[in-house]
Amino acid sequence: MALGRKGNYTPNVDAGYGLIYRLNDLWNGADRKALSGDLDGWNQVLNAIYRNLLYRHPLEVEFVDGDKKKEIKNIKLNDDDRKVYDKFTEMVQQEKRKVYKAIQAKDRLEYNKARQNYSNVLAMKDIWLRKFMQDRGLYLKEVEFDPSRAMWGG
């Protein structure tokens, strides 16, 4: 029984499992959107995965005149990964504009090329996010079975 915030309750299971389950569910959704060709939906799920992966990163808070007692001037993420994410956002917007222009021009060839380019950008974003997740140790450990080490637990 939990004793509340001030009690001495300690959960038996690491809270990181919740994050891993949530991320796995999101990855399942991302794969479904990608396979069905729902590029905008795929992008939205990838954005949700990115948000979930930022839980350890502190925010950079800028105060008016540098005084913490005054009002907040700006809040932003302060890591290099944000720059990569912003670049992907820019690339997605460029490809979506090309898709839109092809629709306006009623040019099927340009539309198909633009959708393929959009899909390629999302695939790169997907791969980057998987590597981002791996860097944070949130993927299951990859093991290689070696029968010669079976006696030693390998």
Instruction: Provide the mean pLDDT of the chain.
Output: 84
- The predicted-structure confidence for 62-85, as pLDDT tens digits, reads as follows 888 877 777 888 888 877 788 999
pLDDT of residue 71: 87
Cβ count near 91 (within 10 Å): 17
The token duo for 59 is 């925010």
Query: How far apart are the C-alpha atoms of 84 and 94, rounded to whole Å?
Result: 15
Bridge partners for 61 per DSSP: 75
Q: Kindly report the pTM of this predicted structure.
A: 0.76
Query: How far apart are the C-alpha atoms of 91 and 57, rounded to whole Å?
Result: 24
Place of tokens 């309750």: 9
Contacts of 103 (CB under 8 A, 6+ apart): 111
